[in-house]
Amino acid sequence: TRLGDGAERFLPVEHMDPRTEATTQAIRERVGQASVKGRLRVRDLGGGSVSMLSSTAAASRAQEIRARRVRMDEGIAVLRDNYNSKKWLSGRISAIQSNGVYVGVVEGQDALIPVAEIPNSLKLRGEDGDDGGDKEGFRTSLRAGQQVEFRIVRYSWQSDSFAASMLSYEESVARNRAMRGGDGPMSAPAAAEPLATPAFSKGRLEGSSKRWADMGFSVVDGDIAKELNEWLRGSNAEEDKKTKGKKPVAKAAESERKFIVNFARGMNPKPVGQISVGMKATDKEIKDAAVALVTAEGELKAGQSHKGVIIAK
């Protein structure tokens, strides 16, 4: 939303009144219904966010609002960390733009399907139709709210956004290779997913930064991030210089066998100690070493009766 002073603010879906589903289509309808001549009544929350709720209503629903935001963030995090680029998903189209279509993936998160990742059979030429795309750009037979199947193919940390495809994995690979001017077959694992990163929303980015800060993370701007990256690269280069030329310490080869030696006199054997012999030691050498240990410990003496020496690995 743009306030009277021209400043833009982010209106989270959990702060819309009445309660609104976290999909682009539902949000668009809610804003259209609530606005008067394109204007909404909102309250500044600070930190780049606004709310349609009064301070009293927001306070009474604070726990519900927080729980809903956490649930949406957790759902998005699970998708971000576990999506499979070959797995087909189902969702509704939330918006159609000149660069492609947006489709709902999980609550609070859409994915852009670029024009190049939409089947040719769904692209139109000719006169414009309602909700079919921008006049000067992409046009399609797809409609907002239509259920479609797609694959999540990439997540961008820079814009906190997902890219998707309505093509099969193999067809997407072949089409992207052709766009790059390549020829010949390409194996599926070699697909580079060269999809354009969706443009980020400044309001959404500010809201996302605030949520990360609320969870205890330090959020920095681009200049500070650049300085940190340069410092890290310098530190890594210095560490490489220190370790360059050093030979890795080879793990000592297993060259010995170890045995537990017990001495038996009467009914109960008595532990005496442990012996170590070479890997190629003969049985006689092992026995001699065991007898030598027992003798050195004073357990085996001339003239005494015993039942023998017990050797165990």
- Confirm whether 191 is domain-assigned: yes
Identify the domain boundary among 164, 183, 206. Answer: 206
Confidence of residue 259 (pLDDT cuts 50, 70, 90): confident
Question: Mean pLDDT for the chain?
Answer: 77
Residue in 253, 251, 254, 274 with CA at minimum distance from that of residue 262: 274
Is the pLDDT reported for residue 98 higher than 80?
Answer: yes
Residue 106 has pLDDT above 80, yes or no: yes
Q: Name the H helices within the chain.
A: 24-34, 55-60, 62-82, 169-179, 202-214, 222-243, 283-296
Supply the pLDDT for residue 203.
55
**One domain for residues 92 and 154:** yes
Q: Is residue 47 part of a domain?
A: no
pLDDT at 204 > cutoff 50: yes
Which band of pLDDT confidence, cut at 50, 70 and 90, is reported for residue 126? Answer: very low
Q: The pTM is what?
A: 0.50
272 within 8 A of 294, measured Cβ to Cβ: yes
- Same domain? For 188 and 95 the reply is yes
- 217 assigned to some structural domain: no
Query: Do 95 and 189 share a domain, yes or no?
Result: yes
Q: Is pLDDT at 231 greater than 70 in this prediction?
A: yes
Residue 166 in this model has a pLDDT that exceeds 90 = yes
CATH number assigned to the domain comprising residue 200 = 2.40.50.140
Average pLDDT (268-292) is 82
Q: How distant is the alpha carbon of residue 201 from its chain centre?
A: 21
Provide mean pLDDT across the span 69-88.
89
Boundary residue ending a domain (146, 180, 206)? 206
Same domain, 109 and 189: yes
Domain that holds residue 165: 82-206
Given a cut of 50, whether residue 242 has pLDDT beyond it is: yes
The H or E element containing residue 3 is none
- The residue among 213 and 195 whose pLDDT is bigger is 213
Q: What is the DSSP letter of 190?
A: G
Classify strands 109-114 and 161-165 as parallel, antiparallel or unpaired: parallel
Q: Which two tokens stand for residue 121?
A: 């059979």
- Determine the Cα–Cα distance for residues 313 and 311; give it in Å rounded to an integer: 7
Q: What is the mean pLDDT of residues 242-246?
A: 64
DSSP state of 251: P
Q: Considering the domain boundaries, does residue 278 fall inside one?
A: yes
User: In this predicted structure, what is the pLDDT of residue 257?
Assistant: 84
Count of structural domains within the chain: 2
Cα–Cα distance between 226 and 218 in angstroms, integer?
Answer: 15
